[in-house]
Amino acid sequence: MDEWMNVRISRELRDIIHGYIMSDGHLKKNGVLIIDQSKKQKKFVYWLYKRLEILRSEHPLGERSRVDKRTHSKTYSYTFNTRAVLKGFHHMWYKPVNRNDRIYYKKILPKNIHCFFSIPFITVWFAGDGTKIIGQKGAKFEVTYYTSEERQKLKQLFQQKFNISTKILRAGQSRTGTIQWTLSITAAEYDKFRILITQMDLIPRIFPHKLCKKTKIYNINV
């Protein structure tokens, strides 16, 4: 058996992988995780490339170009893959769906998400699907893809695990008519959330624009 088949994944790395799958990651049935981000996210790709070192395939990080069929414009992204060692993750995150006698795999919220709903998980998830709220103190996650029950589960986990109250808010409608949803952290809860997502270097160093500015406290001598 190849040595890499016995690789041991730390709890932090496990949760980073889960966080990336939750947002931008695509995991193949054979256990290969594909990291593919736009050129603007180059620093994020390098951060993941370093963190996933023990799982990376022999192919180096590369640049990929695509042509948009509608606009004929060319876009570039940075990409790399892991080896085929994450089949267990695929089993947790995807369920087979039969459509017109063809099987495809739909991403779902794992039943055991409470086991890895941690600081690394939330931080990497926020890097992909989160942003600050413009015009006020707060943050939000894009959660349109998930079902109503799954959104409620995420809301409960924030409360149970970190005592952070969140709100599920309707966020308009897409061009195709899909109602969009966010999981939002209000101003009253934001400071707790900010502490949470700045314990790792990812958000402060690579995504500082996703953070609301700290409120300055002035001492006034009377």
pLDDT tens-digit map of 20-72: 999 989 999 999 999 999 889 999 999 999 999 999 999 888 888 877 777 77
Residue 21, helix vs strand vs coil: helix
Predicted confidence (pLDDT) at residue 4 exceeds the cutoff of 70: no
Specify if 187 maps to a domain: yes
Cα angle value 17/18/20 (rounded, 5°): 65
pLDDT digits 0-9 by tens, 134-192: 999 999 999 999 999 999 999 999 999 999 999 999 988 888 888 999 999 999 999 99
Query: Are 103 and 7 within one domain?
Result: yes
Q: Return the DSSP state at 144.
A: T
Query: Are 102 and 120 within one domain?
Result: no
Specify if 173 maps to a domain: yes
| CATH value at residue 11 | 3.10.28.10
Residue ending a domain, choose from 77, 107, 137? 107
Specify if 75 maps to a domain: yes
Specify if 126 maps to a domain: yes
Query: Are 82 and 134 within one domain?
Result: no
Residue ending a domain, choose from 86, 107, 128? 107
5: confidence class by pLDDT, cuts 50, 70, 90:
low
Residue ending a domain, choose from 66, 92, 107? 107
Specify if 216 maps to a domain: no
Residue 200, helix vs strand vs coil: coil
Query: Are 59 and 134 within one domain?
Result: no
Predicted confidence (pLDDT) at residue 117 exceeds the cutoff of 90: yes
Tell me the mean pLDDT in the region 101-118: 93
Specify if 16 maps to a domain: yes
Give how far the C-alpha of residue 45 lies from the chain's centroid of Cα atoms, to the nearest Å.
13
Query: Are 121 and 196 within one domain?
Result: yes
Mean model confidence pLDDT for the chain: 90
Specify if 170 maps to a domain: yes
Tell me the C-alpha to C-alpha distance, in Å, between residue 164 and each of 128, 142, 188: 20, 17, 9
118: closest CA among 188, 7, 13? 13
Query: Are 133 and 204 within one domain?
Result: yes
pLDDT of residue 104: 86
pLDDT of residue 42: 93
Query: Are 182 and 123 within one domain?
Result: yes
* Burial of 23 (C-beta count, 10 Å sphere; 0-12/13-18/19+): middle
Decide if 61 contacts 47 (C-beta within 8 A). no
Query: Are 127 and 171 within one domain?
Result: yes
pLDDT of residue 8: 84
Query: Are 29 and 86 within one domain?
Result: yes
Please indicate whether residue 1 or residue 198 has the higher confidence score (pLDDT).
198
pLDDT of residue 73: 81
pLDDT of residue 215: 65
Query: Are 193 and 144 within one domain?
Result: yes
Tell me the mean pLDDT in the region 100-109: 89
Q: What tokens appear for 21 in the block? A: 């799958």
The residues, ordered by sequence, that sit 6+ positions from 18 with a Cβ below 8 Å of its Cβ are 89, 110, 113, 116, 121
Query: Are 206 and 148 within one domain?
Result: yes
pLDDT digits 0-9 by tens, 185-204: 999 999 999 999 999 999 99
pLDDT of residue 216: 55
Indicate left, alpha or beta for 154 from its phi (over 0: left) and psi (-120 to 50: alpha): alpha
Whole-angstrom distance, CA of residue 126 vs CA of residue 16: 11
Query: Are 178 and 204 within one domain?
Result: yes
Overall number of domains in the chain:
2
Whole-angstrom distance, CA of residue 40 vs CA of residue 126: 16
196 lies in which domain range? 113-210
Specify if 221 maps to a domain: no
Whole-angstrom distance, CA of residue 181 vs CA of residue 170: 5
222: confidence class by pLDDT, cuts 50, 70, 90:
very low
Q: What tokens appear for 7 in the block? A: 């690789």
